[in-house]
Amino acid sequence: MKKAQTCLVTGGTGSFGRMFVGALLADPRTKRVIVYSRDELKQHELRGQISDPRLTFFIGDVRDADRLRRAFEAGVDTVVHAAAMKQVPACEYNPFEAVSTNILGAKNIIDGAIDAGVKRVLALSTDKAVNPANLYGATKLCMEKLFVQGNSYAGKRGTRFSCVRYGNVMGSRGSVIPVFLKQRATGTVSITDRRMTRFWISLDRGVAFVRDCLERMHGGEVFVPRIPSMGIVDLARAIAPDCKLEITGIRPGEKLHECLISSDEARHTRRHGDTYVIQPEFPWWGGTTDAGGEALPDGYSYTSDRNDEWLDVAALRRLIGALDNGGQPFGRRAEDLRRKGQRGRALTAA
């Protein structure tokens, strides 16, 4: 942030949200952080971990357009949209609920942000939005389209929308690491297919990437980080080297390998160091995009099985060992970040 900002984080009590809030509060330039979520217990727990007068909470659901508008009226400059239904089986069994949260909720964010004059809105997406094989991925693909073309609805009002898209977050709620850690005690770890690969990103890097994209976004971009891949067998061996592997078969809606950039998207994607920027194909709003960077080769696609960077068993073991609370990357981490910010403000004041 170049100047003091008020940032609203939807889904602010989730794995990403909690660490992102801590990172914002560690920055002395942050004016105010608003956590918008529907779980009062999680808000109570986060309030107990972080004591900072700049942090406020709104109980609300992204499905509730009126409540969102009321939250945006609190002088919000920036919105990071992290709220979502993201469990594949839950979305398949409750499809209308997934659509209401992930698609109609996105529409409510867009409408509310435009009406309130919010300057920047950045939404979190997933590799499952590329060539989706399940409803979760399909709703996230639709969300991306809404956010990119939401710039057209903003017109000259100045609100700009972009997305970030990355792979599995190490140790987040619902990830496989806590499952493997629990199964380790039984002597058997279950995997779906030995050939399976996934993109992998740490929560710290995901938070840093989102903050960087907030600074560089012009509107309409989908930002993709260059991140390593890992094999599911290597992950199991890193966590439970002495356990038996039980093959259960690929679950409905699951892919062997994930894709972060399709060959069709690659034609309008530029590489900037460790970041890919997928440019909008139809910038009807006449926005300025970052046209620099390096064009991608013809027919290029960024998939987890053909990546040029991999995490082996030793690297995975080091990363997993760095997680707090038996595989959960939050806990005191957000409070630690917030305390660093307090020390920074004290030094600045001195």
CA distance 80 to 344: 24
Token pair for 341: 């910010």
Annotated catalytic residue 244: no
Catalytic annotation, pick one of 42, 107, 128, 255 = 128
As a 3-state breakdown, the chain gives helix, strand, coil percent values, each rounded to 5, of 40, 20, 35
Strand ranges for 180-249 from DSSP E: 188-191, 197-201, 222-225, 229-231, 244-247
Q: Is the dihedral of CA 321, 325, 326, 329 positive or negative?
A: negative
CA distance 218 to 163: 11
Contact between 213 and 162 (Cβ < 8 Å): yes
Residue among 183, 180, 155, 156 at smallest CA distance from 168? 180
CA-based end-to-end distance of the chain:
22
Contact between 199 and 168 (Cβ < 8 Å): yes
| Positions marked active-site | 128
